[in-house]
């Protein structure tokens, strides 16, 4: 039985879908003004893993991950590049799709873009004003009034007083309270804008996800995910908007639907941990900011996916060359165990002790480190027994995590330079050994080793892999 750590409840809870046999999941996606970085890679891989396991558990999953294609940073970058916002965002959406595909991330079922849902946002804002949860300010902006939502702070676990204490003091603000947040921004010169009852403008960031999730899932759905950095204020604000929109008017100081039942937006809130670089927070100011593309210039994409899954999704993920090198060695061990086995299509007997152990690990809040430990135990069995059925189980379980789906030689050998005839040199070494010219054979092995080629002599012949 699957248990998920629910950030809202601060405990693991048994997953009970709203609709039996189905699971609805909304994940906050990328703001597309630049190439995706390692933090984005973790979100992509983590929730791809979650959706894969939900499906492997027999659930019909609807996975929605949005794209923010209107934002201050997008406008600024487009102006700097002297290109349209549409040109900029499409270019980086295409790049995001390329990066995620390399990481073995399956496309979400639905990828809505914020600019396609402005109408829904306007409707939501109008209802929030009507119910007393929002107000139009003199500067043309519309703000959400956090004082009027009784449950504000429940996701972050902080009271409004605590949150105000840490809030930056603003001067000449049009807000009624420093914690109030913008729902609609008044138009500025040379910025895109839409018509609204409050004048031309564009939506604030937080309202986007409330409108898009409501469009696809209604007032109540199963799982909402994203990075830990979104827990506050973004997800806190989503709750305030959505539950107020679907609940009663402000005078009751209660968030209830018209039938009197509590109006809860999401049953399970999931947040993946931060990515750190050499034990420091990743940031451009520290010079330790890496895009996915930069990392993939040096490391195989499956190694990066393996590295991400090797840590529990809620734990901090510490990036370093040493950790990626270790991940490469570990993944090589798994592929080496599969070498020479034609295992066919994935099939899993969940009654098998190792499969049952894998299932228990994944059902324990997606415990991928323990699930990967099962794969290594199976690899050891394959190396000892050479049994094809054990190799098949290894590859089949790995497929649930999006791993080990390539031909072993394709991974182990990788790309080699066109000028290096590896097979020819292996044959030349064999000939030298047969002629008892061991010095020549050793020289060929050394030549290959210097080129990053490791030879492995077996009773069936010599195979090779990249170091």
Q: Give the tens place of pLDDT for each residue, 292-349.
A: 999 999 999 999 999 999 999 999 999 999 999 999 999 999 999 999 888 888 899 9
Q: Please tell me whether residues 379 and 452 are part of one structural domain.
A: no
Query: Which has the higher per-residue pLDDT, 341 or 236?
Result: 236
Q: Please tell me whether residues 431 and 356 are part of one structural domain.
A: no
Q: Please tell me whether residues 289 and 200 are part of one structural domain.
A: no
Q: Please tell me whether residues 367 and 312 are part of one structural domain.
A: yes
* Cα–Cα distance, 342 to 112 (Å, whole number): 40
For residues 191-201, average pLDDT: 96
Q: Please tell me whether residues 253 and 132 are part of one structural domain.
A: yes
222 has a pLDDT exceeding 90:
yes
Q: Please tell me whether residues 169 and 248 are part of one structural domain.
A: yes
34 has a pLDDT exceeding 80:
yes
Q: State the average pLDDT for the chain.
A: 91
Tokens of 93: 């959406």
Q: Please tell me whether residues 440 and 406 are part of one structural domain.
A: no
411, 428, 447: which is the final residue of a domain? 411
Task: Region of 34 please: left (phi>0), alpha (psi -120 to 50) or beta.
Answer: beta
Query: Which has the higher per-residue pLDDT, 10 or 423?
Result: 10
In this prediction, residue 168 carries a pLDDT of 64
255, 272, 289: which is the final residue of a domain? 272
196 has a pLDDT exceeding 70:
yes
CATH of the domain at 29: 3.40.50.620
Tokens of 52: 């894969």
Q: Please tell me whether residues 125 and 171 are part of one structural domain.
A: yes
- Percent of the chain exceeding pLDDT 70 equals 93
Encode pLDDT of 47-68 as tens digits. 999 999 999 999 999 999 999 9
288 has a pLDDT exceeding 80:
no
Give how many domains the chain has, as a whole number.
3
- Percent of the chain exceeding pLDDT 90 equals 75
CATH of the domain at 358: 1.20.120.640
pLDDT confidence tier of residue 284, bands split at 50, 70 and 90:
low
* Cα–Cα distance, 335 to 368 (Å, whole number): 18
Q: Is 275 helix (H, G, I), strand (E, B) or coil?
A: strand
* Cα–Cα distance, 282 to 299 (Å, whole number): 19
pLDDT confidence tier of residue 167, bands split at 50, 70 and 90:
low
* Cα–Cα distance, 96 to 84 (Å, whole number): 18
Q: Please tell me whether residues 299 and 394 are part of one structural domain.
A: yes
C-alpha radius of gyration, the chain, whole number: 26
Tokens of 135: 């107000």
Among 146-155, 160-169, 316-325, 390-399, where is mean pLDDT lowest? 160-169
Tell me: cis bond preceding 450? Omega within 30 of 0 counts: no
204 has a pLDDT exceeding 60:
yes
Q: Please tell me whether residues 142 and 92 are part of one structural domain.
A: yes
In this prediction, residue 258 carries a pLDDT of 46
In this prediction, residue 260 carries a pLDDT of 46
Query: Which has the higher per-residue pLDDT, 438 or 357?
Result: 357
For the question of whether the overall pTM of this predicted structure is more than 0.85, the answer is yes
Q: Please tell me whether residues 291 and 237 are part of one structural domain.
A: no
For residues 366-395, average pLDDT: 97
In this prediction, residue 169 carries a pLDDT of 53
Q: Is 456 helix (H, G, I), strand (E, B) or coil?
A: strand
* Cα–Cα distance, 355 to 10 (Å, whole number): 29
C-alpha dihedral, 160 to 161 to 167 to 173, nearest 10° = 80
Instruction: Give the domain extent around 459.
Output: 415-466
In this prediction, residue 66 carries a pLDDT of 98
In this prediction, residue 464 carries a pLDDT of 79
In this prediction, residue 122 carries a pLDDT of 98
In this prediction, residue 170 carries a pLDDT of 60
* Cα–Cα distance, 2 to 14 (Å, whole number): 6
Task: Region of 218 please: left (phi>0), alpha (psi -120 to 50) or beta.
Answer: left
Contact 364, 3 (CB under 8 A): yes
In this prediction, residue 430 carries a pLDDT of 80
223, 243, 272: which is the final residue of a domain? 272
In this prediction, residue 457 carries a pLDDT of 81
198 has a pLDDT exceeding 70:
yes
User: b/e map of 334-368 (b: 16 or more CB within 10 Å)?
Assistant: bbbbbbebebeeeebeeebebbebbbebbbbbbbb
For residues 75-92, average pLDDT: 96
Give Dmax over CA atoms of the chain in angstroms.
Answer: 95
Q: Please tell me whether residues 262 and 304 are part of one structural domain.
A: no
Tokens of 212: 């898009």
């Amino acid at each position: 039985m699957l248990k998920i750590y629910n950030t809202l409840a601060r405990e693991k809870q048994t997953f009970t879908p709203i609709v039996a046999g189905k699971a609805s999941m909304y994940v906050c996606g990328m703001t597309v003004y630049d190439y995706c970085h390692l933090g984005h890679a973790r979100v992509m891989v983590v929730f791809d893993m979650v959706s894969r396991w939900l499906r492997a558990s027999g659930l019909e999953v609807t996975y929605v991950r949005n794209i923010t294609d209107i934002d201050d940073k997008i406008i600024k970058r487009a102006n700097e590049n002297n290109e349209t916002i549409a040109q900029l965002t499409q270019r980086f959406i295409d790049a995001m799709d390329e990066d995620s595909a390399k990481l073995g991330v399956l496309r979400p079922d639905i990828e809505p873009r914020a600019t396609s849902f402005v109408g829904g946002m306007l409707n939501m804002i109008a209802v929030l004003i009507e119910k007393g949860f929002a107000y139009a300010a003199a500067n043309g902006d519309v703000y959400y009034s956090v004082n009027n939502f009784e449950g504000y702070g429940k996701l972050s676990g902080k009271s409004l007083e605590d949150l105000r204490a840490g809030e930056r003091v603003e001067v000449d603000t049009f807000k009624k309270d420093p914690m109030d947040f913008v729902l609609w921004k008044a138009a500025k010169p040379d910025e895109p804008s839409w018509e609204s009852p409050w004048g031309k403008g564009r939506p604030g960031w937080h309202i986007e996800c409330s409108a898009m999730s409501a469009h696809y899932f209604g007032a109540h759905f199963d799982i909402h995910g994203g990075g830990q950095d979104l827990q506050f204020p973004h997800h806190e604000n989503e709750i305030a908007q959505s539950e107020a929109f679907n609940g009663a008017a402000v005078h009751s100081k209660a968030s209830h639907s018209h039938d009197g039942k509590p109006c809860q937006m999401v049953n399970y809130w999931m947040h993946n941990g931060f990515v750190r670089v050499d034990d420091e927070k990743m940031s451009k100011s520290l010079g330790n900011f890496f895009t996915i593309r930069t990392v993939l210039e040096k490391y195989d994409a499956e190694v990066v996916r393996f590295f991400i899954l090797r840590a529990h999704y809620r734990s901090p993920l510490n990036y370093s060359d040493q950790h990626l090198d270790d991940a490469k060695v570990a993944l090589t061990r798994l592929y080496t165990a599969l070498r020479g086995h034609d295992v066919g299509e994935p099939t899993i007997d969940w009654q098998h002790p190792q499969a049952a152990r894998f299932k228990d690990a994944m059902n324990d809040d997606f415990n991928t480190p323990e699930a990967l430990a099962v794969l290594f135990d199976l690899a050891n069995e394959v190396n000892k027994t050479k049994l094809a059925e054990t190799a098949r189980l290894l590859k089949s379980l790995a497929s649930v995590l999006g791993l080990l789906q390539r031909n072993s030689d394709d991974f182990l050998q990788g790309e080699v330079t066109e000028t290096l005839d590896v097979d020819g040199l292996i044959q030349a070494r064999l000939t030298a050994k047969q002629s008892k010219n061991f010095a020549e054979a050793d020289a060929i092995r050394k030549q290959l080793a210097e080129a990053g080629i490791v030879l492995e002599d077996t009773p069936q012949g010599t195979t090779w892999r990249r170091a």
